[in-house]
Amino acid sequence: MTDAELRQRALKVVPGGMYGHLNAALFAPGFPQFFERGQGCRQWDVDGREYIDFMCSWGPVVLGHHHPRVEEAAARQARLGDCLNGPGAIMVELAELLVDTVPSADWAMFSKNGTDATTQALMVARAATGRTKVLMAHGAYHGADPWCTPSPAGTTPNERADLVEFTYNSLESLEAAAATVEGDVAAIIVTPFKHDSFEDQELVEPEFARGARALADRLGAALVIDDVRAGFRIDLRGSWEPYGVRPDLTAWSKAMANGYPIAAVTGTDALRGAAQQLYSTGSFWFSAVAMAAAKATIETLRDTDGIAAMERAGTQLREGLYAQAKSYGFTINQTGPVTIPWLSFDGDADLSVAMYWTDACLRHGVYLHPWHNWFMSAAHTEEDVAKALEGTDQAFAETKAHFG
């Protein structure tokens, strides 16, 4: 069954044929919608085309598809049981691992998706403070629930009424936002760096990170780090730990279990009582297989220094792309951490160049994205990146020929 045939069948039984962030209709024309399999840092679509993948399933696959240590742990737990009348011992073991790994974590709660975790974190903050308002950066993505979805369809204005926006990396803007709701701020929620889609990424200014921590303390509000996208690719201890800034609550997901569905909130002892008050649950939140995969993933990243491997591969990719773009006369911007990179073309406001280039990359066996950040995995070797750069070089040549 071809991609085109599956799209036609899907149109009859799935709204629009596909929905959400994996909807290939939102990308360049050549992007496949349906995939057959993955292995290491490669994926194959249903038409049999092979790609060196730099989206890593939009972040979850951090060690590579079918990593033996993760798969063995998951299979061992599956033989015992997955969705039972209560959690397995693995829940306690995983929570202990997170508390041992993350300095700001004294406890952990589990769910399934990043949206679950960010929503749960704000519930804890509101339960602890008795307040309603949340300070959030303008344009930031924190999930797909009605309070945070980027699309207003199916939501009401009331569901966003308690959000007060500020400009990322501007302490002045953050202070001003807090002043508009003085006395009612439950939380400041912030991503480790600015990774809004369609825009160049922006690393956090250390002064902003420390200022946000100081403001939360002064307000008696919770500082919530949304580490769903960046977690386990910058620092295992938490993405603001290198700046000496520790949050009250952290939301985790994506890379946590190398593709198995799980999310978590970790928090400090001061918020343990508030977390106990919540009624926050789900039929599959305590499934044991994903927890076993998460424990194996985190331990493997720790034992093999997986982040350092991603940094090496990401640096190689960034340097190679810069040299290629320069040789073809393109001015590009490469932003974000090298483990969570993105490339944009200078002056490409309508993304037409990015669309053409990423489409050309696909034709040469490299899966990148025109308007969303990419992801490195520990499975990307020096040889893999070198092979990918052969494809991107051909894509630059074709893009140059097309645009002149």
pLDDT digits (tens, 9 = 90+) for 146-170: 999 999 999 999 999 999 999 999 9
**C-alpha closest to that of 228 among 314, 113, 309, 63:** 113
pLDDT band at 226 (very low <50, low <70, confident <90, very high): very high
pLDDT at 1: 93
Strand 163-166, strand 133-137: pairing: parallel
Cα separation of 122 and 58, whole Å? 24
Residue 213 shares a structural domain with residue 279: yes
320 and 188 belong to one structural domain: no
Q: Are residues 49 and 197 in the same domain?
A: no
> Based on the domain organization, do 345 and 258 belong to the same domain?
no
* 345-380 residue pLDDT tens: 999 999 999 999 999 999 999 999 999 999 999 999
Number of structural domains found in the chain: 2
Q: Which of 282, 304, 326 is the last residue of a domain?
A: 304
Last-in-domain residue among 280, 304, 328: 304
In CATH, what number is assigned to the domain containing residue 257?
3.40.640.10
Domain containing 79 equals 68-304
Confidence (pLDDT) at 165: 98
Instruction: Return the percentage of the chain with pLDDT > 90, whole number.
Output: 99
What DSSP letter does each residue of 152-191 carry, written as one string?
Answer: -TT--GGGGTTEEEE-TT-HHHHHHHHHHTTT-EEEEEE-
- Look up the pTM and report it: 0.97
